[in-house]
Amino acid sequence: MDLTYAQRFGHWHVRAEAVLQNPRDLVTGQTLARRARRSLTAALHYTQRLWYAGAEWLATGPRPDSPYTTTIDPGYVVTNAVAGVHLADHWIASLRLVNVFGVQYTEVAGYETEGRALFVRVIWHY
């Protein structure tokens, strides 16, 4: 089941989505790898005429890593920060700071996820 909420309050934009699922293979009955039973994404953005800023969150519950092992990948919460500005009629510059708090988490056992990262974008659109 997916539940979604989105609303604007003046300059504020709020969005949240919850996923509640029973991720099973219908043939074998095994739980599907790397799929949490519960996850939540949320965002809070403040927008002015020429700029915006906000925060985004991803929370996911524990999940089996593989149908071939008993490894359970733990749940985690990651916070991202975003900001952008309209430079000219068709130009936008934006920043995205991923994993603001440098949380160490696992998406796949044995593979490191990136730590904190900053992405800079300059966009031209018509």
Question: Per-residue pLDDT tens for 17-62?
Answer: 999 999 998 998 888 999 999 999 999 999 999 999 999 999 999 9
Answer for the pair 86, 50: CB distance below 8 angstroms, yes or no: yes
Average pLDDT, the chain: 94
**For 68-84, what is the mean pLDDT?**
94
pLDDT of residue 15: 98
Contacts with 52 (C-beta within 8 Å, 6 or more apart), sequence order = 45, 46, 82, 83, 84
| Bridge partner list, 111 | 108
The pLDDT value recorded for residue 90 is 93
Average pLDDT over residues 55-81: 94
pLDDT tier for residue 108 given thresholds of 50, 70 and 90: confident
